[in-house]
């Protein structure tokens, strides 16, 4: 049985590791976190992802998955460590460098090294290969190297690992071909073979495309408010055109990918990456835009010392991940105001944000304004009739087009929507 060593057991590395361990490979998972290793060796997962627990339990029972603090000899090494940005918005390559260095002592003739982390284009050539040189193996004949970027979406990781098409960029054709052989064990999607730097570029521009498109949508939203147009309606009508796919506005772009990866392009060539840079600024400005909108609404309704209720803390719908969420920044900014501020999220079971409480009813009772920041199904199902009497002043600001304006207005709510200048009482 061939052996795979996966370095980094996070949102991508762990699902990939247990997937291989359930598809004919012996896998050792390596991580720097003792807590992660302890939990996994006891069969417990440290991240929430549908299907992960079952895959882990199965692999542990079969004896095909083990964990370790240091790498071991293997036929294939997968690097799936974080590649964040620094406070100066430059790529932090520390994890990639140390993970690459950590496998060098275990490399032997015929091995394959695959980078899955999203990185600035040229990282394999300029950062990893100089480190891998220490293994004294000839690249492309004795040591094979490729980049096969992860492209799965949290919440649907296992479905997408199997069904998404996969980009494989090798330092030569052999490297790409050998990589494909391994992934063929579970990937049902198509394989697209290319060179290593193109593969890096592909992954970064996919997320950058989304960021630029969302910035465009946010700009449309702001303009629509002034024009008396509902941006949500306008965008969805425009999207009926066969060659148009405009994304949707919101209170900001969160997560660890879409708000990060465009910086990898800006950092390298800022004089060229102009639209990309402006889009980042536009999307990063949406939390302040949302806060200002909330303040304006309160002012125009003559409400002083209000109770403000923030609904939705995660960075997108129906997940439990609050890291890099625009809601956090919005809550932080609102907390500087002389408000009674409470926040609520049905998916975040521990209080992770200062103003957070666990009871929806307490969150809305005596509230002066509800501010919806994520499109959780939970919020779509709120019956306005049941809550209108509990509010102090029934006002709602919906930034994700979650509620039906007419239904809420009929029971007495004053409804404001981000990007909706049509029925906006502010016009």
Cβ proximity of 347 and 318 under 8 Å: yes
Q: Would you count residue 257 as binding ligand SAJ (CB under 6 A)?
A: yes
Q: Which stretch binds ligand SAJ (CB under 6 A): 68-76, 247-255, 266-274, 360-368?
A: 247-255
Q: Would you count residue 222 as binding ligand SAJ (CB under 6 A)?
A: no
Strand-strand pairing, 395-398 and 369-372: parallel
Q: Which stretch binds ligand SAJ (CB under 6 A): 151-159, 168-176, 177-185, 223-231?
A: 151-159
Q: Can you tell me the distance from the alpha carbon of 418 to that of 232, in angstroms, rounded to the nearest whole number?
A: 9
Q: Can you tell me the distance from the alpha carbon of 67 to that of 59, in angstroms, rounded to the nearest whole number?
A: 12
Give yes or no: 203 in active site: yes
Q: Would you count residue 307 as binding ligand SAJ (CB under 6 A)?
A: no
Q: Of the two residues 128 and 418, which places its CB atom closer to ligand SAJ in the complex? A: 418
**Looking at the DSSP assignment, which residues form a beta bridge with residue 309?**
342, 370
Cβ proximity of 383 and 413 under 8 Å: no
Select which of 203, 293, 316, 400 is catalytic: 203
Q: Would you count residue 247 as binding ligand SAJ (CB under 6 A)?
A: yes
Task: State residue 164 phi and psi, 5-degree precision.
Answer: -65, 150
Q: Would you count residue 232 as binding ligand SAJ (CB under 6 A)?
A: no
Helical H runs in 164-195? 173-183
Q: How far is the CB of 37 from ligand SAJ (least distance, A)?
A: 23
Q: How far is the CB of 97 from ligand SAJ (least distance, A)?
A: 20
Q: Which of 145, 184, 178 has its CA nearest to residue 166?
A: 184
Q: Can you tell me the distance from the alpha carbon of 154 to that of 349, in angstroms, rounded to the nearest whole number?
A: 18
Q: Which stretch binds ligand SAJ (CB under 6 A): 145-153, 176-184, 190-198, 389-397?
A: 145-153
Select which of 257, 307, 316, 400 is catalytic: 257
Q: Of the two residues 192 and 210, which places its CB atom closer to ligand SAJ in the complex? A: 210
Q: How far is the CB of 279 from ligand SAJ (least distance, A)?
A: 12
Strand-strand pairing, 143-147 and 166-170: antiparallel
Q: Of the two residues 289 and 413, which places its CB atom closer to ligand SAJ in the complex? A: 289
In the set 147, 316, 347, 405, which binds ligand SAJ (CB under 6 A)? 316
Q: How far is the CB of 321 from ligand SAJ (least distance, A)?
A: 9
Q: How far is the CB of 283 from ligand SAJ (least distance, A)?
A: 8
Q: Is the dihedral of CA 199, 200, 201, 203 positive or negative?
A: positive
Helix, strand, or coil here: 163? Answer: helix
Q: Can you tell me the distance from the alpha carbon of 398 to that of 395, in angstroms, rounded to the nearest whole number?
A: 10
Q: Would you count residue 153 as binding ligand SAJ (CB under 6 A)?
A: yes
Q: Of the two residues 118 and 146, which places its CB atom closer to ligand SAJ in the complex? A: 118
Q: Can you tell me the distance from the alpha carbon of 397 to that of 416, in angstroms, rounded to the nearest whole number?
A: 5
Q: Can you tell me the distance from the alpha carbon of 23 to that of 393, in angstroms, rounded to the nearest whole number?
A: 57
Q: How far is the CB of 310 from ligand SAJ (least distance, A)?
A: 15
Q: Would you count residue 56 as binding ligand SAJ (CB under 6 A)?
A: no
Q: Of the two residues 294 and 327, which places its CB atom closer to ligand SAJ in the complex? A: 327
Q: Of the two residues 153 and 275, which places its CB atom closer to ligand SAJ in the complex? A: 153
Report residue 92 CA to chain centroid gap: 17
The residues near 188 (Cβ < 8 Å, ≥ 6 apart) are: 162, 163
Q: Would you count residue 121 as binding ligand SAJ (CB under 6 A)?
A: no
With both helix axes pointing from N to C terminus, report the angle between 274-284 and 261-268 in degrees, rounded to the nearest 10: 140
The residues near 236 (Cβ < 8 Å, ≥ 6 apart) are: none
Q: Which stretch binds ligand SAJ (CB under 6 A): 50-58, 191-199, 255-263, 376-384?
A: 255-263
Q: Would you count residue 118 as binding ligand SAJ (CB under 6 A)?
A: yes
Q: Can you tell me the distance from the alpha carbon of 288 to that of 162, in angstroms, rounded to the nearest whole number?
A: 39
In the set 17, 93, 253, 342, which binds ligand SAJ (CB under 6 A)? 253
Helix, strand, or coil here: 257? Answer: coil
Q: Which stretch binds ligand SAJ (CB under 6 A): 18-26, 29-37, 152-160, 289-297?
A: 152-160
Q: Would you count residue 158 as binding ligand SAJ (CB under 6 A)?
A: no
Residue 21 burial class via C-beta count within 10 angstroms: exposed 0-12, middle 13-18, buried 19 and up: buried
Q: How far is the CB of 229 from ligand SAJ (least distance, A)?
A: 18
Of 69-88, binders to ligand SAJ (CB under 6 A) are none
Of 185-214, binders to ligand SAJ (CB under 6 A) are 206-207, 210, 214
Q: Can you tell me the distance from the alpha carbon of 154 to that of 214, in angstroms, rounded to the nearest whole number?
A: 19
Task: State residue 310 phi and psi, 5-degree precision.
Answer: -90, 125
Q: Would you count residue 315 as binding ligand SAJ (CB under 6 A)?
A: yes
- Contact residues: ligand SAJ, CB under 6 A: 118, 150-154, 206-207, 210, 214, 247-248, 250, 253-255, 257-258, 315-316
Active site residues: 203, 257
């Amino acid at each position: 049985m061939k052996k795979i060593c996966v370095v980094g057991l996070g949102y991508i590395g762990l699902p990939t590791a247990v997937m291989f361990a359930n598809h004919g490979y012996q896998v050792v998972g390596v991580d720097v976190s003792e807590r992660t290793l302890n939990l996994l060796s006891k069969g417990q997962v440290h991240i929430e992802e549908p299907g992960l627990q079952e895959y882990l339990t199965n692999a542990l029972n079969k004896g095909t998955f083990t964990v370790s603090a240091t790498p071991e000899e293997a036929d294939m090494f997968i690097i799936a460590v974080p590649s964040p940005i620094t406070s100066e918005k430059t790529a932090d390559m520390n994890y990639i460098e140390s993970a690459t260095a950590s496998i060098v002592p275990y490399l032997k003739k015929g091995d394959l090294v695959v980078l899955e982390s999203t990185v600035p284009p040229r990282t394999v050539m300029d950062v990893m290969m100089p480190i891998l040189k220490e293994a004294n193996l000839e690249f492309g004949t004795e040591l094979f190297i490729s980049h096969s970027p992860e492209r799965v979406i949290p919440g649907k990781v296992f479905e997408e690992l199997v069904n998404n098409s996969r980009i494989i960029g090798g330092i030569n054709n052999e490297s790409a071909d050998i990589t494909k052989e391994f992934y063929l064990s579970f990937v049902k999607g198509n394989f697209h073979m290319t060179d290593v730097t193109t593969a890096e570029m592909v992954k970064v521009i996919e997320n950058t495309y989304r960021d630029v498109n969302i910035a465009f949508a946010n700009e449309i939203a702001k303009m629509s408010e002034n024009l008396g147009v509902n941006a949500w309606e306008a965008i969805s009508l425009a999207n009926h055109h066969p060659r148009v796919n405009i994304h949707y506005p919101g209170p900001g772009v969160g997560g660890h990918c879409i708000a990060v990866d465009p910086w990898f392009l800006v950092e390298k060539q800022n004089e060229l990456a102009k639209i990309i840079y402006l889009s980042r600024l536009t999307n990063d400005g949406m939390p302040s835009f949302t806060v200002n909108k909330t303040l304006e609404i309160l002012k125009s309704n003559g409400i002083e010392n209000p109770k403000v209720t923030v609904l939705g803390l995660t960075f997108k719908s129906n997940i439990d991940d609050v890291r890099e969420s625009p809601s956090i920044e919005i809550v932080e900014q609102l907390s500087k105001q002389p408000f009674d501020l409470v926040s609520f999220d049905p998916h975040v079971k521990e209080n992770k944000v200062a103003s957070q409480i666990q009871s929806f009813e307490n969150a809305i009772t005596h509230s002066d304004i509800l501010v919806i920041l994520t499109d959780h199904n939970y919020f779509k199902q709120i019956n306005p009739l049941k809550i209108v009497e509990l509010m102090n002043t029934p006002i709602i600001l919906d930034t994700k087009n979650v509620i039906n304006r007419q239904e809420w207005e009929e029971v007495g709510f004053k409804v404001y929507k981000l990007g909706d200048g049509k029925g906006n009482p502010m016009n």
